[in-house]
Amino acid sequence: MKKYRIDSPRKVRLSAFDPDDASAMPGDKEKTKEKSEKIVERLDELQELLFAEHKHKVLIVLQGMDTSGKDGTIEHVMGGFDPIGVRVVSFKKPTSVELDHDYLWRVHAQTPGAGEVVVFNRSHYEDVLVVRVHELVPKAMWEKRYAQINDFERMLAENGTILLKFFLHISEEEQKERLQARIADPTKRWKFQHGDLEERKLWPEYQKAYEDALSKTSTAWAPWYVVPANVKWIRNYIVGSVIADALAALKMKYPQPDLKGVVVE
């Protein structure tokens, strides 16, 4: 999975990443999906261990263009997690109270506690993406946010949080097909908003904004993974593998309570 990781701040060109790339797959579609199912089972075990040990914190950040598969990734990769130790957070338009504070104030309040996994379905990166593309704040303000985000994430990491950041990379043509499929399917039509088409017109601006975000905020303590996401089963395999490897590397152990003198009658 290292081939998808941006190891250090460097100039990222999304055109260099193939959204259909399947080169890291363990085999054909069926073999990869079978492997993914085993990974999901392993993730379920590791998440229970994380919650039981109550030592580490895990923050998973999912970003991507509309229809890139953030909801599907959560459903298929993290669907087996025990809800008691997992939260999914989606940041909407800031409220008046949130706007009275700095842009990271509401984000920090949602970060994971010990033993917890938190998934950000969109995140603080919207403040260098949507905010930038739609010119909601001056350039002089959002340009400072890359360094601020790096400092924020470093603070989280130094206090025991494992950060895993995934950019779900789809092509413009794939997005078109998914939007058309969403409109055609009565069970998914509710997801469609006319604003999706307006946002699609800004594809080049968003690609540039993402390239800068990936270039300037991929760090040793919080690297980005550029995940080829045109094919859903490839996307799920990569994201699941990265999360499973990161949790396994923690070498977690179940706590051993003092059972001396305990008798069950």
Taking only the tens place, the pLDDT of each residue in 100-138 is: 999 999 999 999 999 999 999 999 999 999 999 999 999
d(CA 211, CA 159): 28
| Angle in degrees, 0-180, between the axes of helices 232-248 and 29-53, rounded to the nearest 10 | 30
What's the residue count for the chain? Answer: 265
Q: pTM, whole model, 2 decimals?
A: 0.94
Rounded mean pLDDT of 199-204?
A: 94
* pLDDT value, residue 194: 79
Q: How many CB atoms lie within 10 A of CB 5?
A: 14
What pLDDT, on the 0 to 100 scale, is given for residue 189? 84
CB 223 within 8 A of CB 1: no
Contact 188, 181 (CB under 8 A): yes
Check whether 43 has a pLDDT greater than 70: yes
Distances (CA, A) of 251 to 46, 225, 246: 10, 22, 10
Class of domain 2-248: alpha beta
pLDDT exceeds 90 at position 203: yes
How far apart, in whole angstroms, are the C-alpha atoms of residue 142 and residue 127? 7
Listed by start position, the domains of the chain span 2-248
pLDDT digits (tens, 9 = 90+) for 131-186: 999 999 999 999 999 999 999 999 999 999 999 999 999 999 999 999 999 999 88
Residue 82 has pLDDT above 70, yes or no: yes
Q: Yes or no: say if 206 and 129 are a contact pair by the CB < 8 Å rule.
A: yes
Write out the chain in H/E/C secondary structure.
Answer: CHHHEECCCCCCCHHHCCCCCCCCCCCCHHHHHHHHHHHHHHHHHHHHHHHHHCCCEEEEEEEECCCCCHHHHHHHHCCCCCHHHEEEECCCCCCHHHHCCCCCHHHHCCCCCCCCEEEEECCHHHHHCHHHHCCCCCHHHHCCHHHHHHHHHHHHHHCCEEEEEEEEECCHHHHHHHHHHHHHCCCCHHHCCHHHHHHHCCHHHHHHHHHHHHHHHCCCCCCEEEEECCCHHHHHHHHHHHHHHHHHCCCCCCCCCCCCCCCCC
* CA proximity to 209, closest of 148, 151, 112, 139: 139
What local confidence, expressed as pLDDT, does residue 195 receive? 83
Average of per-residue pLDDT across 76-92: 91
Distance CA 148, CA 164 (A): 18
Least reliable range by pLDDT among 53-67, 170-184, 247-261: 247-261
pLDDT at 57 over 90: yes
Whether 9 has a pLDDT exceeding 70, the answer reads no
Report pLDDT digits (tens) over 228-239: 999 999 999 999
Q: Are 214 and 141 in contact (CB under 8 A)?
A: no
